[in-house]
A and B are shown apart, each in its own frame.
Chain A
Amino acid sequence: SQTIHQWPATLVQPVGSPLSLECTVEGTSNPNLYWYRQAAGRGLQLLFYSVGIGQISSEVPQNLSASRPQDRQFILSSKKLLLSDSGFYLCAWSGRASSYNEQFFGPGTRLTVL
Chain B
Amino acid sequence: GENVEQHPSTLSVQEGDSAVIKCTYSDSASNYFPWYKQELGKGPQLIIDIRSNVGEKKDQRIAVTLNKTAKHFSLHITETQPEDSAVYFCAASRRTGTASKLTFGTGTRLQVTL
Please classify how large the interface on chain A is, using the bins under 10, 10 to 19, 20 to 34, 35 or more: 20 to 34
How many A-B contacts at CB < 8 Å in the complex? Answer: 63
> In the complex, A65→B45 CA distance in Å?
25
Closest to A57 in B: B99
Residues of B contacting A43 with CB < 8 Å?
6, 89, 104-107
Given A44-B104, A49-B99, A105-B44, 20 more A-B residue pairs with CB atoms under 8 Å apart are A32-B98, A32-B99, A43-B105, A43-B106, A44-B44, A44-B102, A59-B101, A90-B43, A99-B95, A99-B100, A100-B98, A100-B100, A101-B49, A101-B51, A103-B100, A103-B102, A105-B43, A105-B46, A107-B43, A108-B41
Which 7 A-B pairs rank lowest in CB-CB distance, beginning with the nearest? Answer: A105-B43, A43-B104, A43-B106, A44-B104, A101-B32, A108-B43, A101-B100
Q: What is the predominant secondary structure among interface residues of chain B facing chain A?
A: strand
Given contacts A43-B89, A101-B49, whether A94 and B100 have CB atoms under 8 Å apart is yes
Residues of A contacting B104 with CB < 8 Å?
43-45
